Amino acid sequence: MKATYLDRKKYEKYDDKHFIVYLNEEVIPDYVPEVMEGREVPEPCTAYSYEGSEKDGGTIIEATSALYDDFVAGLVRLKYSQNQVEAVILNQGDGNDAHLAEYNALQLYRKECKSIAAELLARE
């Protein structure tokens, strides 16, 4: 689901084992908020749009703290379970090209997750 905010979002503690993070950020310059009937049209402003699995545009990840390693692991888990990661890692050196391709895809996704985690934690 997609949601738009006038303030920039980053992440919030969801419960003891999860955080809600705001991914796929899109900056919307000159955004004009919806106007209720009979109200004055507000001035254009900068808004931020997020798209995720939750109705507020957020995405819930497994993480117990707002630390880089926890966020990277939580983001990786959105696509790969622990069992899948172990299987990909253990299969990658067996000479099977498909297994090597799976390993390379995991590494690319993990690199993307590292970039996203760093960006989330750096948001003001």
Does the pTM of the predicted model rise above 0.85? yes
Question: What 3-state class would DSSP assign to 12?
Answer: strand
pLDDT at 39: 84
| Under-70 pLDDT residues of the chain | none
pLDDT at 75: 99
- Give me the half-sphere count of Cα atoms (radius 13 Å) on the Cβ side of residue 48: 15
Question: Residues with Cβ < 8 Å from 70, sequence gap 6 or more?
Answer: 63, 64
pLDDT at 34: 84
Tell me how far apart the alpha carbons of residues 11 and 53 are, in angstroms, rounded to a whole number.
14
pLDDT at 84: 97
pLDDT at 38: 81
Tell me how far apart the alpha carbons of residues 91 and 109 are, in angstroms, rounded to a whole number.
17
Dump pLDDT digits (tens) for 48-75.
999 999 999 999 999 999 999 999 999 9
pLDDT at 115: 98
For residue 57, what are the domain limits?
A: 2-122
pLDDT at 41: 83
The one-character DSSP state at 94 is S
Domain count, the chain: 1
Phi and psi for 57 in degrees, rounded to 5? 85, 0
